[in-house]
């Protein structure tokens, strides 16, 4: 039973990490494309070419914190405590 729980947690963690790495890849590719399109038009630089990666980067940072520092905001085992709390409340 305990092995299955550990396996499920590890599987969830790997899935979260994979999602983050995909997010980083899409972030880099899209922003390279946007910068390339913006700079290929000439000397006029649009403000959105810097605003897009900045705002998206903030979202990417939040994603990184949720994946690699999951206890940063909610504390250790917050999710498990909440699940047990709701299970006991619904008995």
* Domain coordinates in residue numbering, the chain: 2-89
- Report how far apart, in Å, the C-alpha atoms of 49 and of each of 15, 45, 46, 58, 65 are: 31, 7, 6, 15, 25
* Digit-coded pLDDT (tens) for 73-87: 777 677 788 888 888
User: Does residue 29 contact residue 14 with C-beta atoms inside 8 Å?
Assistant: no
More confident residue, 2 or 34: 34
* Digit-coded pLDDT (tens) for 21-62: 999 999 999 999 988 888 787 767 667 778 899 999 999 999
Which pLDDT score is estimated for 43?
Answer: 63
């Amino acid at each position: 039973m305990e092995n299955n729980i550990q396996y499920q947690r590890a599987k969830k963690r790997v899935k979260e990490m994979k999602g983050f790495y995909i997010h980083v890849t899409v972030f880099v590719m899209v922003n390279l494309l946007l910068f390339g399109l913006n700079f290929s038009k000439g000397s006029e630089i649009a403000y959105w070419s810097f605003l897009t990666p900045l705002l998206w980067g903030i979202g990417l940072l939040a994603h990184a914190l949720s994946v690699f520092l999951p206890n940063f905001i909610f504390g250790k085992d917050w999710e498990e405590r909440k699940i047990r709390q709701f299970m006991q409340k619904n008995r």
